[in-house]
Structures are given as structure tokens and as C-alpha cells.
Chain A
Amino acid sequence: MSNFVDIALLAFLALVALAVTRTLNLFATVALTGIYSLLMASIFTTLDAVDVAFTEAAVGAGISTVLFLATMALTTSHEKPHHHHNWAAIMATLITGSALVYGTLDMPHFGDPQAPIHQHVAPHYIEISPNEIGVPNMVTSVLATYRGYDTLGETAVIFTACMAVLLLLQRDRRGGNRNVMAVPDADQRRGGQSMQHAMILRVFSKFFIPLIFLFGLYVQFHGDYGPGGGFQAGVIFASGFILYTLVFGLEKARQVIPPRTLQALVAFGLLLYAGTGIATLVMGGQFLEYKALAHEATHGEHLGILFIELGVGITVAAVMTTIFFTFAGRGRS
């Protein structure tokens, strides 16, 4: 039965991808990619990757869709039609695709427990990690401990991407010589576009936003025991802020969390992560060896995971919100 669901969802996914290619209206394309991500998240759930499904649903169907829409508001929403097929590109994709399909013929079948991928480190993670780390969610224990360096690096990449977006978009367009007279005008134009006057949206988002934040907190702090963790909680928090901004306007959102505070949080999360590593060094362990944090090994692991997941959550939430604010604020200057 689950196999049937899997097959049907994957077929839908392929159809939506084709529709994305054929549609010239970029608004429609971005709406399709939202559907695409939701389908992808459902597939991840059927494939047992619940943590990944969480992230894909919040990122793909939420944040990245909104970012694409914000970019289109600043550029264009129509693609120039091309009347001829690009045969060179079609040939290139066909040849590459056939080579890849030929490569899969030797691959172990889907779901095969004897596949090489399940023989190397996975048994260690599955059999030993629940006792060694004391955390039931193996994804969390691998993410935070065995691959803690990777995760630190990835948090740093997200931090760097945020800096790049700020450098590209935050500067005033005409060398800081902002035209003050034009601002109220632009504000009015934008004010009409924010959803402040849509009563149903306003009431419902007021009702839902606290629930989104509550759920974000649950995902953040319950990530050791159930699906969840810093990355998921961060994107869920950010989608709550983005929803608030979309409905109540950028000015109000900036009063709730000033951009300066957000930018400080971007750095704070990463520093908290790296600081946990330094703390383990000071307390006699190796870098990010959480055992050193407390007298008992699993207690130390719990503390370490709590801190670094919090660091990841803060950085991810702050980065996503900052990026969205930067895109949304670009249209005003």
C-alpha cells in the first residue's frame, strides 16, 4: 500500500516538474514549485525521513516560495517566450539522463536492507547511538554529535549566505543618497499591497501565528525525542515571522524585531555553537566533545545537544527572517 502511495506521489512530482518547465508565467511557476515541495515533503514522510519532511515543508512550500515572489515583485513576473526548441539542450539532457539511468542498473533495489549504504556506519548509529548519546532520535544524535563539525560548517555557510544577501541588497541604490521625498509615496503604494485590510487573513493569522511559534518551540526543544531540531524549528519560526510581515506589513514587523537585533541574533546563534565547542575544550574535552560538559557522559551529551541545537535554531530563524526583510525592504528605497 505504502509502495502504491510512493509510486503515485512520485508520478505527480514528475508531472509538476514538467508543468514548471512549460509554464511561462513565473507566478504560476512559483505556485507550482510550492506544490512540488509539498509533494516532496509527503514523499519524504512515506520514506521515513520525518525530520527532512518537516524542513522541506517549511522551506520549500513556505520560505523559498515567498523569496521567489519577493524577487519577482522587484524584477518581472513574465518570462520571454521562445518559439524554438533548444535542441542542443534537449540532446545534452537526454544523453546525460540515459548515462545516469544506465548507471542505476547496477544499483541495489529500493528498500533493500542488504544495500552497501546500510552496512557501513549506519548500524553503529542505529544500534549504539541511543545508548551512547542517550537521545532516541538518531537523526538528532548524528547531526549534533557524530557529525557536529559538519553541522557547524553548515551553520557557518548559512551565516555567510545571509551576509552575502545583506551586502548585495542592503546598500542604498544610489550610493546612500536616498530620495527622502519618494519614501512616503512608496510607503502608500506598498501599504495597499500588504494585507492589512483583509480582515479574514488578519484574524486568522493572529490566531495561527502564536500556534506556529508554540509549535516551533516544541520542535526546537523536543527534537531529541521526536522529529525536530534546530534547523526545523528555525525555519518554522521564520515562516511565522514572514506570515506576520505579509499580513501586517514590513513596518510593523520591524517594530516587533528590529533588523539590528535580528542581525545580532544571526551571529549569536553561530557563536553559541562554536562557544559550546570552546567550552568543551576548556573543560578538558576535545572540540565539541559534549561528554566533558557534565560529570555523567549522557548528561553532558544532552546539554551539548541542547546548546548547539539552540544555536542552530537561532541562526537559521534570524537568517531566514533577515533575508526576507532585506528582499521586502528593497522595494521601498
Chain B
Amino acid sequence: MSDFWGLYNYWIAIFLMMVGFYNVIARGNLIKKLIGLNIFQTSVFLLYISMGKVEGGSAPIVGAGISSFSNPLPHVLILTAIVVGVATTSVGLALVVRIKEAYGTIEEDELIAQESVTQ
């Protein structure tokens, strides 16, 4: 039982990662793919932050009467990754907008059909 709760956080992270992965590979709508990619990305954030947690620890800011801290390094990595993530997502969304303007659709199967006609 302790095994189960000890690994619960990681398993939820894996579950979220797989949900995101499924949306990326199985869905034809490009916006849905990007949402899936976002879920995939946040699952990695969850994994890192979960690993950084120390039982009984506190947020890594020095204060009176606090002696045990969680690991600050994953926090730094993920903090910057979130902002970089939204910046790169917006590049993806910009591409989606251009694809819509060029092809009139953002469904993958229709895009492939149009491409094969023009060839």
C-alpha cells in the first residue's frame, strides 16, 4: 500500500502524459493536438516538482524557524519551462492560423487530402 501512495504522483504524471500523447497522435484537429501537447508538457512539470518535494519540507525561502526545504532546482527548471512553453505554443498556434488561411481547414485528414490532390 505504501508503494502505491509513494508512487501515486508519478503515476498520475504518466497518466497525464499518455492522455496528452493520445491527443497528439490520434486527433486530427490541429488545435486539439496542441492542447494535447500542452497536457504532455504539464505532466513533465508535475513529475519534476513531485521529485523535488521533501517530506516535511517547506518552500525554499529562508525564514525563521524553518530548517527543512524542498529542492529548489526543479522549481527553477520548471518555472522557466512554463514561460518558454507558452511562447513555443504560441508559435504553434500562429502556424495553425496560417494553415487555416492557406487551406481553409485545420483537420489533418482534409489537409492530407488537399495535398495529395495538388500533387
Q: Which A residues are within 8 Å of any B CB, using their own CB?
A: 3, 6-7, 10-11, 13-14, 17-18, 20-21, 26, 29-30, 33, 36-37, 40, 43-44, 47-52, 55-56, 59-60, 63-64, 67-68, 70-72, 74-76, 79-80, 82, 86, 89-90, 92-94, 96-97, 100-101, 104-105, 107, 109-113, 115, 117-118, 121-122, 125-126, 130, 136-139, 142-143, 147, 150-151, 154, 157-158, 161-162, 164-165, 168-169, 173, 225-227, 229, 231-232, 234-235, 316, 319-320, 323, 326-327, 330
Chain B residues in 8 Å Cβ range of A68:
31, 34-35, 93
Determine the residue in chain A with the shortest Cβ distance to B31. A26
Determine the residue in chain B with the shortest Cβ distance to A144. B76
Determine the residue in chain B with the shortest Cβ distance to A29. B35
**CB-contact partner of A93 in B18, B75, B86, B89, under 8 A:** B18
Determine the residue in chain A with the shortest Cβ distance to B108. A80
Establish whether residues B82 and A56, one from each chain, have CB atoms under 8 Å apart when the complex forms.
yes
Chain B residues in 8 Å Cβ range of A323:
87, 90
Chain B residues in 8 Å Cβ range of A60:
42, 82, 86
Which residues of B from 46 to 85 have beta carbons under 8 Å from A?
46, 49-63, 68-76, 78-80, 82-85
Given contacts A44-B49, A49-B75, A86-B26, contact A138 B55 (CB under 8 A): no
A65 → chain B closest CB, angstroms:
10
Chain A residues in 8 Å Cβ range of B45:
40, 44, 52, 56
Establish whether residues A100 and B90, one from each chain, have CB atoms under 8 Å apart when the complex forms.
no
The number of residues on chain B lying at the interface, defined by a beta carbon within 8 Å of a beta carbon of chain A, is: 82
Q: Which B residues are within 8 Å of any A CB, using their own CB?
A: 2-3, 5-12, 14-23, 25-29, 31-32, 34-36, 38-39, 42, 45-46, 49-63, 68-76, 78-80, 82-91, 93-98, 100-101, 106-107
Establish whether residues A49 and B49, one from each chain, have CB atoms under 8 Å apart when the complex forms.
yes
Chain A residues in 8 Å Cβ range of B59:
48-50, 227
**A104 to B79 Cα, complex, angstroms:** 24
Given contacts A49-B49, A76-B100, A138-B69, contact A10 B82 (CB under 8 A): no
**A63 to B42 Cα, complex, angstroms:** 15
A13 → chain B closest CB, angstroms:
7
Establish whether residues A36 and B25, one from each chain, have CB atoms under 8 Å apart when the complex forms.
no
Residue pairs across A and B with CB atoms within 8 Å: the count is 283
**A168 to B101 Cα, complex, angstroms:** 12
B61 → chain A closest CB, angstroms:
5
B53 → chain A closest CB, angstroms:
5
Establish whether residues A118 and B49, one from each chain, have CB atoms under 8 Å apart when the complex forms.
no
Establish whether residues A97 and B96, one from each chain, have CB atoms under 8 Å apart when the complex forms.
no
Chain A residues in 8 Å Cβ range of B58:
48
**CB-contact partner of B6 in A10, A72, A110, A229, under 8 A:** A110
**CB-contact partner of A89 in B6, B8, B22, B70, under 8 A:** B22
Establish whether residues A136 and B62, one from each chain, have CB atoms under 8 Å apart when the complex forms.
yes
**CB-contact partner of A143 in B10, B14, B80, under 8 A:** B80
Establish whether residues B90 and A10, one from each chain, have CB atoms under 8 Å apart when the complex forms.
no
Chain B residues in 8 Å Cβ range of A50:
59, 61
Given contacts A75-B97, A110-B8, A165-B91, contact A14 B15 (CB under 8 A): yes
Establish whether residues A47 and B52, one from each chain, have CB atoms under 8 Å apart when the complex forms.
yes
Establish whether residues A111 and B53, one from each chain, have CB atoms under 8 Å apart when the complex forms.
yes
Determine the residue in chain B with the shortest Cβ distance to A232. B79
Chain A residues in 8 Å Cβ range of B83:
55, 59, 154, 158, 231, 234-235, 316
Those 9 A-B pairs whose CB atoms lie nearest each other, nearest first: A109-B6, A111-B55, A89-B26, A161-B87, A48-B70, A136-B62, A86-B26, A138-B72, A168-B94
Establish whether residues A97 and B7, one from each chain, have CB atoms under 8 Å apart when the complex forms.
no
Chain A residues in 8 Å Cβ range of B27:
79
